[in-house]
Amino acid sequence: MTPRQTSSDCLIVGGGPAGMMLGYLMARAGVQTIVLEKHADFLRDFRGDTVHPSTLRIVDELGLLERFLQLPHQRLEHLTGLFGDRRIELADFRGLPPRYAFIALMPQWDFLDFLASSGRNLPALEVRMRAQAESTLEDAHGRVVGARGRDADGEFEVRARLTVGCDGRRSTLRDAAGLPLENLGAPIDVLWFRVPRDPAEVDDTLARVTRGRFVVTIDRGDYWQCAYVIPKGGADDLRREPIETFRARVAEAAPILAGQVAAIGSWDDVKLLSVSVDRLTRWSKPGLLCIGDAAHAMSPIGGVGINLAIQDAVATANALAVKLRAGTLADDDLDAVRARRLWPTRVTQAVQVQMQRNVLAPVISGANAELAVPLPMRLLTRLPPLQRVLARVLGMGVRPEHVRSPVA
């Protein structure tokens, strides 16, 4: 059977933060855009739920912030942790402009639903759910001219002047294009689970460190979203033990969870996030560009992945939307996106790699059995002005983007 064929100016594969934001911006600029999302909805494990000030500012520049903040969320105005019995103060976002002087803790599916619903007002945008891209389409010269895939009605082809891979760290388009990947390594994995929370309870501690244990507790109103850091590849060994042993370890590291850990009924309630830190050495080939996790997988440290993906999308629309609409887009324009976004990616990943090696790995391996607080954390705790500096770097990112693509 011949695949159904459609065409568009821009085809975006993947309905994550990069894909949905880029789809919105391109359509807003009058570029006919199709977004393919392989799932029926945006509900997924391991969706990052920290919307940083940089993303809040982008939403504000789009005129959507007031409506966005009407969605249920919690505000994190400063980052604190417990290192043994010592409280550490890391970042204070209250020095940023008041409209986004916080991290909004919001399930990512709510954020993506918000972008999708906002995009319904744009006649140039089409979001196709349950549409999975399986390979690129190339012409006789090896230029990518779209993608081939499958949905509920069978096989389809979408031809486009520009195809953008936003399909995550296991990108189908990236692999099909043969773009080379540099692996920076990650000594950790993360176990992801939730525990009920009393909404009246007040505790904004984000990270809790004890001997051999590192637990992150994210306030989601009526439950804690928790991350338990383990050595890379250590999940199978843990799962051979009774779930009661895991509950005890969680309660030891985070006593605030002790009364509710029974809600972790079995290992089925605990999901594995395999952590990787990598980046493409080339982000594009003629007709195809990769951004977001498809171009650079980030560690969960700092919750910056979603926000770097959003920044990539903004930079892409800024550089390409006008040229794509005018029909003047050249291959060199695609590499300009990599040139713009590579330095922020390198800096952020370098910091994450150092944190993994020098803070997380020594704790979970037992090498830091005395729980000596690293010098940078001691300095931050003692010097509040440094906390505001770190908040600006963490919250706004390196080389933050502004929306410069036009409104059609």
Q: Hey, do 4-68+104-184+277-360 and 188-273 end up sharing a CATH topology, with the first three levels equal? A: no
Q: How many CB atoms lie within 10 A of CB 202?
A: 7
375: which residues sit within 8 A by CB, 6+ positions away? none
Using one digit for the tens of pLDDT, what is the confidence trace for 188-210? 999 999 999 887 777 888 899 99
Residue type, 353: V
Residue 219: predicted pLDDT: 85
**pLDDT confidence tier of residue 96, bands split at 50, 70 and 90:** very high
Residue type, 338: R
What CA–CA distances, in Å, run from 382 to 3, 376, 377, 387?
Answer: 64, 10, 9, 9
Spatial distance between the Cα atoms of 116 and 128, rounded to a whole number of angstroms: 11
Give yes or no for a contact between 326 and 272, defined as CB atoms under 8 angstroms apart: no
Task: Specify the 3-state DSSP secondary structure of 10.
Answer: strand
The CATH T-level fold of domain 4-68+104-184+277-360 is: FAD/NAD(P)-binding domain (3.50.50)
Give the whole-angstrom CA distance, residue 350 versus residue 98. 30
pLDDT score recorded for residue 46: 53
Q: What is the CA radius of gyration of the chain?
A: 22
3-state SS class at 225: strand
C-alpha–C-alpha distance, residues 335 and 337, integer Å = 5
Give the model's pLDDT for residue 366.
Answer: 81
CA 345 to chain centre: 13
Mean pLDDT of 55-82: 95
Residue 47 banded pLDDT, cuts 50, 70, 90:
low
pLDDT at 370: 81
The pLDDT of residue 5 is 93
According to the CATH classification, is domain 188-273 in 3.30.9.10? yes
**Domain limits of the chain?**
4-68+104-184+277-360, 188-273
Q: Is residue 385 within a helix (H) or strand (E), and if so which, with residue range?
A: helix 384-396
Instruction: State residue 48's pLDDT score.
Output: 67
Query: Range with the lowest mean pLDDT among 213-227, 363-377, 378-392?
Result: 363-377
Q: Name the helix (H) or strand (E) containing 80.
A: strand 78-83
Integer CA distances (angstroms), 71 to 105, 109, 112, 114, 198, in order:
11, 12, 12, 9, 20
| pLDDT, mean of residues 124-135 | 96
**pLDDT score at 204:** 80
